[in-house]
Amino acid sequence: MRIHIIVHENFEQPAVCLEWAQSRGHTISLSAIYQGDKVPTSADGFDMLIIMGGPQSPLTTIQDCAYFDSAAEQHLIRQAIDNGKAVLGICLGAQLIGQALGGMVESSPNKEIGNFPIQLTAAGLADEMIEHFGQELTVGHWHGDMPGLPPQAQILAYSTGCPRQIIRFAPIAYGFQCHLEFNRAAIESLIPHSKADLQHAGQYPYIQSASEILEYDYVPMNQKLYVFLDKLLHRYQTQKH
């Protein structure tokens, strides 16, 4: 299968998403927009689209960030969904999917940085793609916003700090506000860019210290992500045929 990944910043890498694609022998292409890469103009060249996080918002303009073209990414997302491609948006990526489909990005009630549990809704527990997460799963978080909800979207998971953690936007288009792709290397890249927020560790309920975040064992949630990605591609292949 052909996997295309959009990466917005060098400090928010695909991490375990890339490891999964490599381990499965998929063909991988990548748009590193922070290096000046443009996103594809057509969804014809891939089977799965993964859109990573970043400090931008779907409302960020080219004047605000010269290498980030929100409109182009949203256009590609709509094409991918309309053409039945598998789509996963993570953090900013999830917000871009919501925006592309008519939902307005919003501020989360709480900024979350660290590892905290999410709870699956009844719809989430009934969703074959994520039912293996169980009722509760501790995952990574690094955000202050959350996706907008277009009419067809369904919330599959929430946390006590944020009501929109996993959203199904279309049969095989999912948004994860949370980060199951985190590993130690990903965290080590993020921490230097989040010093101002991390200074509030202990003052705010959903911000952990850098040492707490670095000491966490990310393997269990990474394994859950592997299964989810396998299921998503399997459903894509089933629907395709």
Model pLDDT for residues 155-170, shown as the tens digit of each residue: 999 999 999 999 999 9
Say if residues 147 and 95 touch (Cβ distance below 8 Å). yes
Tell me the per-residue pLDDT of 203-221, one tens digit each, with 9 for 90 and over.
999 999 999 999 999 999 9
User: If you average pLDDT over residues 193-207, what whole number do you get?
Assistant: 94
In order of 220, 230, 231, the CA distances from 181 in angstroms are 11, 14, 16
Q: What is the CATH number of the domain that holds 24?
A: 3.40.50.880
- What angle (nearest 5°) sits at the alpha carbon of residue 177, between those of residues 127 and 57? 140
Share of the chain above pLDDT 70, in %: 100
**CA 45/CA 133 separation, integer angstroms:** 31
Q: Could you tell me which of 79, 77, 55, 81 has the C-alpha nearest to residue 68?
A: 55
User: Structural domain of residue 60, as residue ranges?
Assistant: 2-240
Rounded mean pLDDT of the chain? 97
Task: Reply yes or no on whether the pLDDT at 239 is more than 70.
Answer: yes
Tokens matching residue 57: 């918002």
Which residues have a Cβ under 8 Å from the Cβ of 199 and sit 6 or more positions away? none
Q: What is the DSSP string of 43-62?
A: STT-SEEEE---S--TT--T
**Backbone dihedral angles phi then psi of residue 153, each to the nearest 5 degrees:** -75, 150
Tell me the per-residue pLDDT of 175-185, one tens digit each, with 9 for 90 and over.
999 999 999 99
Number of domains in the chain: 1
